[in-house]
Amino acid sequence: MDNNNEDWSIVESCLNGNREAYALLVKKYEKSVFNIVYRLIGTTEEARDITQETFIRVYKSLRQVKPEFKFSNWLFKIATNLCKDRLKKRKITAVSLNEFDYLLDQEISHENKDSLLDYQKNLIPTDEQEQVQRAISNLPFIYRRVVVLRYIQDLTYQEIADILEIPLGRVKVQLHRAHQILYDQLSDMLK
């Protein structure tokens, strides 16, 4: 059984009254959702709050979603929309390096073996890791979210387009612009 079918069978079990089944979905996706939210919001406390709110909203909306969609994409869409709403209420500039160190210590983002974080951790010295993370954190939200979904969560362009409800071409443009901004910010390090 593939991952998506497995998720939807768990959802069906939830809809039939099995509350323990929902705990399986939370356990399966909690770290990924926290990782996305943390990288978009920048503080551990707010990331925990938004992660919890994501799972509450998902649970309340289980009857409204259609199984032809990928469950994880729907879940990540709710998480990114909550981040967007939170950021509208306040301005965010950067993730503090102490928060980033906490995240690394907690090993939250080691879900995807080919993720950018693993690449950074294995191949880039610590000072440069911090510069890359700071540069990603300083990206405008519309670019930061596509970078996080693509390189941290290792989602395809199409999955990102589905989650963000934007055309595939816009995902590619936003990633290209993010790459340009990151290159400009990190060009000294690359020399």
**Given this model, what pLDDT does residue 191 score?**
63
- CATH number, residue 7: 1.10.1740.10
Q: What is the pTM of this model?
A: 0.71
**Given this model, what pLDDT does residue 1 score?**
57
DSSP letter string, 9-29 = HHHHHHHTT-HHHHHHHHHHH
- How far is residue 99 from each of residues 31, 43, 44, 64, 133, measured CA to CA in Å? 16, 6, 7, 36, 11
Domain span holding position 126: 3-190
Among 34-38, 63-67, 104-108, which range has the highest average pLDDT? 34-38
Residue 13: band (very low, low, confident or very high) from pLDDT cuts 50, 70, 90? very high
Does residue 69 or residue 34 have the better pLDDT? 34
Number of domains forming the structure of the chain? 1
**Residue range 135-182, pLDDT digits in tens:** 888 899 999 999 999 988 889 999 999 999 999 999 999 999 999 999
